[in-house]
């Protein structure tokens, strides 16, 4: 169908569709990577992803990624790649909205596997 | 060094470092993928990437991705994944700033290989 408009993915609109904290939702797939949006507040668990780097991009608000030997502060529009295998703990004082990019099937709690593990669903 | 602050990548600041249009700059690497920022205005060339999907995320302004059988309009904060092998032509009426994510070594002109091909540099 010529000139048919296809829809882009509006991240802000997708973020209106859920409230749950620390529960990433899949919005897109590129090759074998998932793009996930999440709302975070408070402290997550220390974990690492032994098989992959992980991308954090702050869409709204600000957050800190604690590292065993330091930390990274991310404001809106900031990007950080957590290296494969590096222990980290995401934190946010106030509610913060983020975009995560990582291989399909990467668990949110990495190697920690505690009760905060959730299976990401498409939204 | 305990409590050492590491720097996030500030995309807006990176965008102040160059003016060239249609000349993506690498700002981060996640596994074997590059994150590139670009300033675009006008029409690019029709091309496809036979080996990979390609992610477009609009950081500022708006753009259109023309497809052979339609188009996608992206406003600020919108995301679109161009499927592997699909012919597309990025366009922007006014200057637009974008984030591209694609495998290391993906050429900007894909299979078109014309005089608008540039080798992306780190910035």
Please report whether residue A114 resides in a domain: yes
List the domain range (segments joined by +) for residue A42.
Answer: 11-122
Instruction: Select the more confidently predicted residue: A4 or B84.
Output: B84
Judge whether B25 lies within some domain.
Answer: yes
Residue whose C-alpha is closest to residue A100's, from A27, A49, A7, A45:
A27
Assigned domain for B96 exists: yes
Contact of A8 with chain B, judged by CB distance below 8 Å, is answered with yes
pLDDT at position A3 over 80: no
Q: What is the mean pLDDT of chain A?
A: 94
Number of domains making up chain B: 1
Assess whether pLDDT exceeds 60 at residue B2.
Answer: no
A8 to chain B, closest Cα gap in Å: 5
- A43 in any annotated domain: yes
Residue A4 lies in a domain: no
User: Closest to B74 (Cβ–Cβ): which among A8, A59, A79?
Assistant: A8
The answer to whether residue B6 is domain-embedded is no
Give pLDDT tens digits for A18-67: 999 999 999 999 999 999 999 999 999 999 999 999 999 999 999 999 99
Predicted complex ipTM: 0.94
Residue A1 inside a domain? The answer is no
The whole-number pLDDT of residue A34 equals 98
Q: Is the pLDDT of residue B110 over 80?
A: yes
Query: Is residue A113 scored above 90 in pLDDT?
Result: no
Nearest by CB to B28, from A5, A9, A79: name it: A79
DSSP chain A: -TTEEEPPEEHHHHHTT---BT--EEEEEETTEEEEEEEEEEE---B--TT--EEEEEEES-EEEEETTEEEEE-TTEEEEEPTT--EEEEEEEEEEEEEEEETT--TTTT---TT----EE-
In a domain, B56, yes or no: yes
Task: Give the CATH number, domain containing residue B47.
Answer: 2.60.120.10
Chain B residue with Cα closest to A14: B78
- Measured CA to CA, the distance from residue A112 to residue B51 in angstroms comes to 34
């Amino acid at each position: 169908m010529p000139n048919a408009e296809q829809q882009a993915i509006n991240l802000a609109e997708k973020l209106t569709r859920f409230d749950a904290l620390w529960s990433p939702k899949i919005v897109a797939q590129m090759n074998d990577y998932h793009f996930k949006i999440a709302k975070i507040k408070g402290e997550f668990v220390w974990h690492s992803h032994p098989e992959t780097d992980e991308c954090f991009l702050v869409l709204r608000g600000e957050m800190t990624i604690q590292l065993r030997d330091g930390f990274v502060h991310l404001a809106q529009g900031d990007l950080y790649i957590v290296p494969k295998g590096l222990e980290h703990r995401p934190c946010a004082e106030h509610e913060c909205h983020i975009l995560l990019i990582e291989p399909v099937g990467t668990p949110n709690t990495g190697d920690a596997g505690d009760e905060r593990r959730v299976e990401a669903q498409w939204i």
